[in-house]
Amino acid sequence: MKTFYSILYSTIRPNLDEKVSIGLFMGDGERCIFQYSAEKLLIIKDLFSNSAYQNIRTSLKSLSNLAEECSNDHLKSHRSFRIMEVDYFDYLSRYAQNLVTYSPPKSIDIQLTKDNFEKLFEKFVYDLPREIVHKLKPIETARRMLTKSIASHVNFDVELNGSDIPGLVVPAKLWFIGKNEVQVTGESKDFNGVPHFIQQQVNAHLYLIDKIKETPSGKNGHFFFIADEPDKNLHENHKLWKAVRASRLLDIVPTKEIDKVEEYMVRHGVEPLFPSEFQNE
Write out pLDDT tens, residues 221-260. Answer: 999 999 999 988 899 999 999 999 988 899 999 998 999 9
CB-based burial, 15-32: b 16+ in 10 Å, e otherwise: eeeebbbbbbbbbbeeeb
Query: Does residue 133 sit within a domain?
Result: no
Residues 6+ apart with CB under 8 A from 164: none
Q: Within the chain, what is the greatest distance between any pair of CA atoms? A: 67
Question: Is there a single domain that holds both residue 265 and residue 143?
Answer: yes
- First-to-final CA distance of the chain: 61
Among 226, 231, 202, 198, CA closest to 139: 226
* Partner residues linked to 102 by β-bridges: 8
Whether residue 8 lies inside any domain: the answer is yes
- Average confidence (pLDDT) over 128-136: 50
Q: Are residues 45 and 72 in the same domain?
A: yes
> Do 160 and 257 sit in the same domain of this protein?
yes
Residues 160 and 220 in one domain: yes
Asked, for residue 263, whether it belongs to a domain, the answer is yes
Q: Checking DSSP bridges between strand 172-179 and strand 155-160, what pairing results, if any?
A: antiparallel
Residues linked to residue 272 through DSSP beta bridges, in sequence order:
178
Residues 146 and 99 in one domain: no
How many structural domains compose the chain?
A: 2
Tell me, yes or no, whether 191 and 164 share the same domain. yes
Binned at pLDDT 50, 70 and 90, residue 131 comes out as: very low
**pLDDT of 87 strictly over 90:** no
Give the domain extent around 20. Answer: 4-128
Residue that finishes a domain, picked among 103, 128, 153: 128
Instruction: Kindly report whether the global pTM for this prediction surpasses the value 0.75.
Output: no
Name the strand (E) or helix (H) holding 41. helix 38-43
Distance CA 149, CA 117 (A): 27
pLDDT of residue 226: 96
Q: Per mean pLDDT, which of 24-33, 45-54, 68-77, 127-136 is the most reliable?
A: 24-33
pLDDT of amino acid 18 = 82
Q: Say whether both 74 and 121 belong to one domain.
A: yes
Clarify whether residues 149 and 274 are in a common domain: yes
Mean pLDDT within 159-188:
91
Is 67 domain-assigned? yes
